[in-house]
């Protein structure tokens, strides 16, 4: 039996939030028998065409009020989400439709619409990291998971910004059918990695580079260039011409992480990249990332991500 998925769009929706997950389900259809695939429809609150943030004009397949037999309702994000929130009739129509669905999915700032649909519910929602504080302030009952790519809270699934919607769609394909099918879809879409929901929306290195002063940029570059070598707080402080105590305090104040915690996360990120995009052994990766031996890498990796490096490679990467 086919699975009907409706994508709710509105004026000033984000194009990628629609196209990315929509194409993931569509590719899955190409690999599935017609009777067990996905029926994909776009939905609006009226019959008029809507324009995305980038100006793409889209005429939806159906009206929210008239839609029947929907299994999954996907609410995409975009600047126009606030206009939807301010329209009581549109929210009422969405609530009624969602009541008959088995699964509600929000992409990026679509989380704002989901939160407005049920303001009294305590839901865990992910959204684009840049809108996390606004979501928390606007909807106090929401538990915002700003760092995670996607999360599930009861029947509600939500993803972070933009391409994270594809990761969530692939996860749903895996739930509905199999991990193998999701991997094939990812491969067809030329994705090197199927990312898990617990992965961060942005890397520690990128975040730090955007917040540190010019003086500390040198520290980041030093860590990155010597990630395979022994690194200590004393060595990093000496490189920055500061005392270890002062360096630790200022670094944590600017980055939000203690220096050695930052080093650990950077090493783990490099390990993930090598696991996904190379055929190097775990022993080789341990040496290249400064862990030295596979047991230490495995222990730190498992503590941070809940799986071993080998399991991560098997579950979330494609054959090279």
Q: What is the pLDDT of residues 16-43, one digit of tens each?
A: 999 999 999 999 999 998 788 999 999 9
pLDDT level of residue 272 (50, 70, 90 thresholds): confident
- Say if residue 4's pLDDT is above 50: yes
Instruction: Please tell me which residue, 161 or 200, carries the higher pLDDT value.
Output: 161
Residue range 3-188 in CATH 3.40.50.880:
yes
pLDDT tens-place string over residues 253-267:
877 789 999 999 999
pLDDT level of residue 320 (50, 70, 90 thresholds): very low
- Chain Cα centroid distance, residue 173: 16
Question: 266 in helix, strand or coil?
Answer: helix
Nearest to 5 by CA among 75, 66, 77, 73: 73
DSSP secondary structure letters along 188-242: HTT-SB---TTSBSS-HHHHHHHHS-HHHHHHHHHHHHTTTS---HHHHHHHTTS
Q: Report how far residue 232's alpha carbon sits from residue 229's, in angstroms, rounded to the nearest whole number.
A: 10
Q: What is the mean pLDDT of the chain?
A: 88
Class of domain 204-316 (CATH, top level):
mainly alpha
Which residues does residue 193 pair with via DSSP β-bridges, in sequence order?
317
pLDDT tens-place string over residues 82-103:
999 999 999 999 999 999 999 9
Mean pLDDT of 193-217: 53
pLDDT tens-place string over residues 94-147:
999 999 999 999 999 999 999 999 999 999 999 998 899 999 999 999 999 877
- Say if residue 194's pLDDT is above 70: no
Cβ-based neighbours of 264, under 8 Å, separated by 6 or more: 300, 304
Position of tokens 């005429």? 59
Q: pLDDT > 70: what percent of the chain? A: 89
pLDDT tens-place string over residues 213-239:
566 778 888 898 899 999 999 999 999
Mean pLDDT of 171-184: 87
Mean pLDDT of 4-12: 97
- Determine the pLDDT at residue 142: 96
Q: Where in the chain is the domain with CATH 3.40.50.880?
A: 3-188
- Say if residue 201's pLDDT is above 50: no
Question: 53 in helix, strand or coil?
Answer: coil
Look up residue 90 and give its two tokens: 């549109």
pLDDT level of residue 307 (50, 70, 90 thresholds): confident
Instruction: Please tell me which residue, 249 or 146, carries the higher pLDDT value.
Output: 249
Q: Is the pTM of this model over 0.85?
A: no
Q: pLDDT > 90: what percent of the chain? A: 63
Task: Give residue 240's region: left, alpha or beta (phi > 0; psi -120 to 50).
Answer: alpha
- Say if residue 64's pLDDT is above 70: yes
- Determine the pLDDT at residue 319: 37
Mean pLDDT of 292-307: 91
pLDDT level of residue 252 (50, 70, 90 thresholds): confident
Q: Where in the chain is the domain with CATH 1.10.10.60?
A: 204-316
Four-point Cα dihedral 11, 90, 22, 196, nearest 10: 110
């Amino acid at each position: 039996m086919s699975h009907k998925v409706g994508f709710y769009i509105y004026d000033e929706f984000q194009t990628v939030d629609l196209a990315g997950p929509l194409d993931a389900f569509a590719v899955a259809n190409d690999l599935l028998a017609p009777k067990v695939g996905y029926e994909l429809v776009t939905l609006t609150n009226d019959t008029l065409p809507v324009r995305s943030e980038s100006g793409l004009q889209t005429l939806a397949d159906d009206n929210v009020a008239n839609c029947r037999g929907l299994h999954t309702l996907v609410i995409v994000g975009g600047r126009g989400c606030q206009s939807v929130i301010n329209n009581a009739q549109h929210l009422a129509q969405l609530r009624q439709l969602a009541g008959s669905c088995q699964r509600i999915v929000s992409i990026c700032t679509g989380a704002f619409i989901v939160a407005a649909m049920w303001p009294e519910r305590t839901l865990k929602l992910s959204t684009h990291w840049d809108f996390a504080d606004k979501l928390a302030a606007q909807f106090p009952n929401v538990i915002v998971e700003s760092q995670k790519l996607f999360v599930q809270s009861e029947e509600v699934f939500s993803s972070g910004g933009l391409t994270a919607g594809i990761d969530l769609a692939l996860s749903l394909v895996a739930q509905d059918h199999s991990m193998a099918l999701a991997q094939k879809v990812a491969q067809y879409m030329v994705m090197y990695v199927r990312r898990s929901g617990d992965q961060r929306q942005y890397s520690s290195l990128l975040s730090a580079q955007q917040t540190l002063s010019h003086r500390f940029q040198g520290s980041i570059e030093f860590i990155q260039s010597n990630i395979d070598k022994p690194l200590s707080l004393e060595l990093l402080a000496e490189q920055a011409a500061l005392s270890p105590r002062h360096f630790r305090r200022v670094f944590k104040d600017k980055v939000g992480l203690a220096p050695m915690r930052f080093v650990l996360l950077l090493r783990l990120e490099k390990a993930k990249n090598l696991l996904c995009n190379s055929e190097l052994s775990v022993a080789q990766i341990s040496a290249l990332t400064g862990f030295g031996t596979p047991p230490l890498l495995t222990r730190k990796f498992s503590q941070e991500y809940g799986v071993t490096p080998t399991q991560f490679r098997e579950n979330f990467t494609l054959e090279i």
